[in-house]
Amino acid sequence: MTVDASGNVAVVSGPSGGRDLAVTSYTSAGTLRWRRTISPSVGTFNGDWAVAAPDGDIVAVGHNVDSRGSPIAISMVRYASDGTSRWRVDLARTLPSVARLLVDGGGNPYLAFSSVGDGQDIQVHKYDASGVLLWSRVVSTGTFANDYATSLALSPDGRDVVVTGDVAGGTTWITAAFDATTGARRWLVTAAEGIAARDVVVDATRVYVTGQGNVGIAGFLTVVAYDRATGARLWRKDKKAADGNGAAGLRMAVAPDGSLVVTGQANRGFLDWYTVAFETTGLVRWEAVRDGGLNTDEIPAGVLVMADGTTVVTGRGGPNLPGGYIQGVTAGYGPTGMLIWEAFSNQETIWATAVPSRDVCASGGYDALITCWGVSGVGANPSVVKPVPDGAFGSAMTGSRANPEGTSINLTWDVSTCASTNYHVLYGDLASVASYTIGGSACAIGVSGAYAWSGVPAGDLWFVVAADDTISKEGSWGSATGGERGGASASGQCGMTTKETSDTCP
């Protein structure tokens, strides 16, 4: 899945109609723009990658398989922004596998894949905007070696293209950098870092590769940094969850501030999401585990960092849907790694992208399901929770919900948290908070449940829940930089002047 500069979303999928490769484009509002398909000369298509070019064109690639499921060829297509077919390139190969498709600032596509040569070799192709092959390069670590490409990245200035891969059944990571204009190889590094190199990103001075690194029999979410100019190894960092038996890095992204975020899997009996943010020096900024409570493997498939610094991770995760089907989960983490929102798809997701409107879209499933959510600022979905600013309302603040349409907010609670205490919801901006009582006795029902608060005013508001014994005391609203919020006494025991007391606040 990809998004162009205008916010139009495109997805590649297959088999469509039983055997075709399909590229489908939607507006940022989800309206179908166009759908185009190509048919294989033999076999059945599977979709691999789609990328938007700077001019709004969509470039997509897929591979077709024979009746036994073995890959037999690769096809790449390009469509204009209105769906007009520009060109198609077919590559007949033996057992090919697509690693990554990219497009540079000039609209030139780069394709990394593997196919049988003198063994299984890594190949990188560059095409011009009209589909003409400009150069091709092969990476082979030895005669009849099983070298597989896993990812591809362009440098920010467009001068370098870097491919990464590994040796199947071995412990060797492969990283090679090429001059993007001529295809001349700048350097090649093969090193016994671990059993799988999975993704690569490039900044102004460094190349970063992540995967599963090994120390003895133990596996880690590993990041290795190389000097971009020379390929010299600068540092390696190995991480696993504190309660985990092992980990692996799967996908990586560069944040707007230059830091790195890697998402992967943590082995904690079953596999769970494991996301780690690194400084460019390898210092860990934060780490987070997401466990949907399933006795099955939950595996993230994509990661990106939005302009506001929110890390977005998507992939399969729990809880399961009715019937035991595992769903797609897309989650946002704040700058300290705090989970600030979650959104769910009816099918397992494999990729996510940000739309210029500040929506986030995730795709996946056999029928190319795309689900989009508003996640920041005005226009956000009320079901999405944003982080609490430090010092704003303290621990009493539950989060914020941008609510431009004045719709309802659903509150849920567990009876064990209620006892004889009720709760108030208060709302406002960072400067002041007005109070509103939800039905007077939200927890007096005496059972676990939910309350729909339909009187929510429009606007980007902050919300806090405060305990109330309904007689004389109200719990703290939390502290602001100027002290207790809500006119509390000097002791800071209560958060509402009309119910101040020397007794302990609920």
What does the pLDDT look like over 468-481, one tens digit per residue?
654 455 555 554 44
- Cα 351 vs. chain centroid, distance in angstroms? 7
The answer to whether position 388 is within a domain reads no
The answer to whether position 505 is within a domain reads no
Range of the domain at 197: 193-376
Rounded to two decimals, the pTM is 0.76
pLDDT confidence bin for 403, thresholds 50/70/90: very low
Residues of the chain above pLDDT 70, percent: 74
The tokens of 165 are what? Answer: 């891969």
pLDDT tens for residues 60-98?
999 999 989 899 999 999 999 999 999 999 998 888 999
Other CB atoms within 10 A of residue 287 CB = 19
The answer on 219 and 262 residing in a single domain is yes
* 452 has pLDDT over 60: no
Per-residue pLDDT at 316: 94
The answer to whether position 383 is within a domain reads no
The answer on 369 and 256 residing in a single domain is yes
Span 214-243, average pLDDT: 94
Per-residue pLDDT at 117: 74
**Are the C-beta atoms of residues 48 and 63 closer than 8 Å to each other?**
yes
How many Å apart are CA 327 and CA 122, to the nearest integer?
33
Per-residue pLDDT at 3: 95
- 3-state helix, strand and coil shares in percent for the chain, rounded to the nearest 5: 0, 55, 45
Does residue 170 or residue 445 have the better pLDDT? 170
Per-residue pLDDT at 429: 52
The answer on 231 and 176 residing in a single domain is no
The answer to whether position 34 is within a domain reads no
Handedness of CA 267, 269, 271, 277 (dihedral sign): negative
**Are the C-beta atoms of residues 42 and 64 closer than 8 Å to each other?**
yes
Q: Which among 276, 282, 212 is positioned nearest to 247, based on CA atoms?
A: 212
How many Å apart are CA 250 and CA 320, to the nearest integer?
23
pLDDT confidence bin for 375, thresholds 50/70/90: confident
For the chain, the domain total comes to 4
The answer on 372 and 232 residing in a single domain is yes
Per-residue pLDDT at 107: 96
**Are the C-beta atoms of residues 262 and 210 closer than 8 Å to each other?**
yes
**Are the C-beta atoms of residues 330 and 349 closer than 8 Å to each other?**
yes
pLDDT tens for residues 121-154?
999 999 999 999 999 999 998 887 889 999 999 9
Other CB atoms within 10 A of residue 388 CB = 22
- Cα 46 vs. chain centroid, distance in angstroms? 22
**Are the C-beta atoms of residues 40 and 72 closer than 8 Å to each other?**
no
Per-residue pLDDT at 478: 53
The answer on 56 and 2 residing in a single domain is yes
Per-residue pLDDT at 363: 95
The tokens of 23 are what? Answer: 């590229």
pLDDT confidence bin for 501, thresholds 50/70/90: very low
The answer on 338 and 451 residing in a single domain is no
Per-residue pLDDT at 295: 81
The answer on 303 and 199 residing in a single domain is yes
Q: Domain boundary at 191, 225, 240, which?
A: 191
Q: Please provide the size of the chain in residues.
A: 506
- Determine if residue 502 is left, alpha or beta; phi over 0 gives left, psi from -120 to 50 gives alpha, anything else beta: alpha
Per-residue pLDDT at 497: 36
The answer to whether position 264 is within a domain reads yes
The answer on 215 and 185 residing in a single domain is no
CATH number assigned to the domain comprising residue 314: 2.130.10.10
The answer on 254 and 115 residing in a single domain is no
The answer on 61 and 5 residing in a single domain is yes
Query: Which residues, other chains included, contact 94 with Cβ-Cβ below 8 Å and sequence gap of 6+?
Result: 72, 115, 116
The answer to whether position 115 is within a domain reads yes
How many Å apart are CA 427 and CA 435, to the nearest integer?
6
The answer to whether position 14 is within a domain reads yes
The answer on 408 and 494 residing in a single domain is yes
Distance set, CA 267 to CA 22, 128, 243 (Å): 36, 43, 9
Q: Domain boundary at 191, 216, 245, which?
A: 191
Span 326-339, average pLDDT: 90
Per-residue pLDDT at 394: 31
pLDDT confidence bin for 367, thresholds 50/70/90: confident
The answer on 272 and 233 residing in a single domain is yes
Does residue 446 or residue 7 have the better pLDDT? 7
What secondary structure letter does DSSP report for 386? B
The answer to whether position 382 is within a domain reads no
To which residue do tokens 């005669």 refer? 143
